[in-house]
Amino acid sequence: MVQKLTSFACDVRELSPMYELSLVVPCYNEEKRLAKGLFKTYLQEHPHHLILFVNDGSHDATETILRDLSHELANAKVLSLEGNSGKAEAVRRGVLFLQSHFPSRFFGFWDADLATPLTELASFTQRFVETPTLRMILGSRVKILGLDIKRSAMRHYLGRAFATAVSLTLRLPVYDTQCGAKMFRTSPETVNLFRIPFLSRWIFDVEIVARMQLAFPDEAGMRIPHGIMELPLCQWHDVRGSKLGFSDFLKAIVELIRIYFWKSQRSKQNYARACDH
């Protein structure tokens, strides 16, 4: 069943300026974790950046908080989904909504709890400017000296085990696909990554990388395979109230298997079409 979309403080009939960066922030029952003050300060200091908060069927005061923020700031918008559709679908719809109404040079998505602070955005945009062939950046939580990365022991070790499985599945030496900080250079090809619904509900980040591999086949000698780069974050802190647990890790493994077979089938189809030509 297709869910109805509604927006607040966002007249889609308006002609919108070209933003430097547009960001999707999915929100589900974030009343107690949403750092409204930090978002407000950032948007005031970066008028050429826009944040679209996607209220994913919250049943607490999240919608009220977001609506108030959008009334205060012209570059804060809200899109509400009727019913909880999950983070993957909330991000997907948010990206397509932004591209239709608020075009920007770069776009991405970010976790509402700001485990990755908004100050990290500057490093992402700088890498895009410096590297014209770069199409996607994944924030990476690399726990090494000099970086302020704080994760619970269980999530850290489960994350390392899952990252190994992802690397084997994608045949790509990726360190961290599940950090909630991603950014893209806007182009028809990168927007098309979000055109169709994701197979996965829990690990759509992995599916995006798989779609990138199919959309941008690697070329011999390319310094950045498929146009994807991981960027170690200077700071990332676990935030209380996370909705992920061990059972979600098991669901993620099941979804990873689905992505593997889906990608393998698509690769065979592409090869067959190439042979026909």
Domain ranges of the chain: 1-114, 115-277
Reported confidence tier of residue 8, pLDDT bands at 50, 70, 90: very low
pLDDT digits (tens, 9 = 90+) for 10-31: 433 344 457 999 999 999 999 9
To the question of domain 1-114 being in CATH 2.60.40.10, the answer is no
Contact between residue 184 and residue 203 where contact means Cβ atoms under 8 Å apart: no
Write down the pLDDT at residue 217: 86
Write down the pLDDT at residue 15: 40
- Average pLDDT value for residue range 163-170: 90
In DSSP terms, 232 is beta-bridged to: 140
The predicted model scores a pTM of: 0.86
Write down the pLDDT at residue 266: 83
- Give the chain's largest Cα–Cα span: 57
Range scoring the smallest mean pLDDT among 68-77, 115-124, 139-148: 139-148
> 165 in helix, strand or coil?
helix
Closest CA to 124 of 112, 136, 141: 136
pLDDT digits (tens, 9 = 90+) for 175-227: 999 999 999 999 999 999 999 999 998 899 999 999 999 999 876 556 788 99
H-run or E-run covering 65: helix 62-72
Q: At what angle do helices 204-215 and 246-276 cross, to 10 degrees?
A: 10
H-run or E-run covering 19: strand 19-27
Range scoring the smallest mean pLDDT among 100-114, 164-178, 193-207, 236-250: 236-250
